[in-house]
């Protein structure tokens, strides 16, 4: 088993340091306007007139900061700093507070809507920037954003957060604008953001709100019997069939397989991502390592039972709570997060089935998903690895899932190899 771990560690290190990071070192920063470029075709050529979304601008700030802090790439801090400056200058709403959704490449405003998904990524990125650099501007704006969420978005009746709002923080209309919906997706990323915010500040209020959002997820958003996450809910957490909604990846993505009718589905990638995000939150709060061990097993086992491709490796996109997957194509982000989740489950539980899943998942990714010539991951593949969408960057796809996966796997593999002596 040690030999397999060493091979995977070497392959991931090679991809990370010889392909992935060099690509973003030379392509990521917008040298003309500031901020970041994220939209590239399958050859790595940039789309010159790309818009800039809060999601990817913040993910790039987070990535350059995290690689500086966790892997010692302090030379990336200027790349993070200029991104923070662009972000504050062009995305911060001086009238109502909070962050706009989208600008043109030059920073001119295109969409001033407020989505908690974007606000939480601002918290995540800015807190990480301060942790990495010591620059308190990140912490200041992260805390201001957190306070705005508590003031305007916290649902004091049912719990959790209102997710889709207008520029003045009034709730958006029902339906496609999703003012009447809550989701595991956004609450999971709120968990992620509050974890890093608490790590940055040590403030009790940030810890308490982190605990609250975890309780909402575990009490309302996870099917404890089936062992998987639910998808969308009404404001009172009544389960709703999942629909495409405004300002989401599913509404804007180029089409692969689709589910014809709204269905109560689960995302195998989200479920396994939740495994390691919960365990990271426990670590940052100083809780026992086995705090979420039972749920780790449920979520990882559900993905292995229903969402894993035992023939080629990799995880499928979506399926019912029990039964065969409904969408069998393979997307980049699920196959990034599942690597970390399965490896995390192995660390937590010590059962080789999780390590085997990680290794087979990685085999699929390095064989089919990664464009080794360019240095980044393709967006979408068929079940057999045939390319559906070969572009390696889009307004939603930056260094976050791919880079974070490679970084987290690197750190875990180091620990596992050190433990084996």
| CB contact set of 53 (below 8 Å; sequence gap of 6+) | 101, 102, 118, 395, 396
SS3 at position 267: strand
Q: Please give the pLDDT value at position 158.
A: 96
Measured CA to CA in angstroms, residue 94 lies from 106, 242, 245 at distances of 18, 34, 27
How much is the pTM? Answer: 0.96
Domains in the chain, CATH or no CATH each: 2-420 (1.50.10.10)
Decide if pLDDT at 254 tops 80: no
Q: Please give the pLDDT value at position 177.
A: 76
Residues 401 and 340 sit within 8 Å (Cβ to Cβ): no
Which strand ranges, in their side-by-side order, compose the sheet holding 52-53? 52-53, 102-103, 109-111
Looking only at the bridges linking them, the beta strands covering 164-165 and 52-53 are: unpaired
> How many Å apart are CA 121 and CA 192, to the nearest integer?
9
pLDDT tens figures, 77-123: 999 999 999 999 999 999 999 999 999 999 999 999 999 999 999 99
Decide if pLDDT at 260 tops 60: no
Please report how the helices 332-349 and 400-420 are oriented relative to each other, as an axis angle in degrees rounded to 10: 20
| Residue 38: alpha-carbon gap to chain centroid | 16
> How many Å apart are CA 292 and CA 195, to the nearest integer?
15
> How many Å apart are CA 188 and CA 166, to the nearest integer?
22
Q: Please give the pLDDT value at position 214.
A: 98
Mean pLDDT for all residues in the chain: 94
pLDDT tens figures, 363-419: 999 999 999 999 999 999 999 999 999 999 999 899 999 999 999 999 999 999 998
């Amino acid at each position: 088993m040690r030999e397999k771990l060493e091979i995977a560690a070497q392959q991931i290190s090679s991809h990370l340091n010889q392909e992935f990071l060099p690509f973003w070192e030379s392509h990521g920063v917008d040298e003309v306007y500031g901020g970041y470029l994220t939209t590239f075709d399958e050859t790595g050529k940039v789309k010159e007139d790309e818009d800039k979304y809060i999601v990817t601008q913040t993910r790039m700030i987070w990535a350059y900061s995290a690689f500086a802090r966790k892997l010692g790439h302090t030379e990336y801090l200027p790349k993070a700093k200029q991104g923070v400056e662009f972000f504050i200058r062009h995305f911060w709403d001086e009238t109502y507070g909070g962050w706009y959704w989208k600008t043109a490449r030059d920073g001119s405003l295109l969409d001033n809507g407020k989505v908690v998904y974007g606000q939480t990524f601002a918290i995540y990125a800015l807190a990480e920037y301060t942790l990495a650099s010591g620059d308190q501007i990140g912490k200041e704006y992260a805390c201001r954003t957190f306070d705005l969420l508590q003031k305007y978005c916290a649902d004091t009746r049912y719990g959790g957060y209102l997710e889709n709002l207008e520029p003045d923080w009034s709730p958006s209309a029902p339906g496609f604008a999703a003012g009447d919906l809550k989701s595991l997706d956004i609450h999971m990323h709120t968990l992620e953001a509050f974890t890093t915010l608490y790590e940055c500040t040590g403030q009790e209020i940030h810890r308490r709100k982190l605990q609250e959002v975890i309780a909402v997820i575990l009490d309302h958003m996870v099917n404890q019997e089936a062992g998987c996450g639910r998808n969308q809910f009404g404001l009172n957490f009544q389960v709703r069939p999942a629909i495409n909604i405004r300002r989401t990846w599913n509404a804007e993505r180029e089409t692969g397989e689709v589910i014809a009718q709204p269905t109560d589905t689960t995302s195998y990638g989200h479920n396994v991502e939740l495994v390691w995000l919960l365990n990271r939150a426990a670590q940052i709060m100083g809780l026992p390592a086995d705090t979420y061990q039972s749920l780790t097993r449920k979520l990882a086992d559900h993905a292995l039972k229903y969402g894993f491709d035992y023939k080629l490796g990799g995880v499928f996109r979506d399926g019912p709570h029990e039964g065969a997957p409904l969408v069998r194509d393979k997307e980049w982000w699920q196959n990034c997060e599942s690597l970390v989740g399965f490896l995390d489950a192995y660390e937590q539980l010590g059962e080789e089935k999780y390590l085997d899943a990680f290794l087979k998942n990685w085999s699929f990714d390095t064989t089919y998903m990664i464009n080794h010539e360019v240095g980044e991951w393709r967006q979408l593949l068929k079940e057999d690895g045939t390319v559906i969408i070969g572009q390696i960057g889009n307004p939603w796809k930056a260094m976050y899932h791919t880079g974070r996966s490679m970084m987290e796997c690197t750190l875990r593999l180091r620990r596992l190899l050190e433990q084996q002596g």
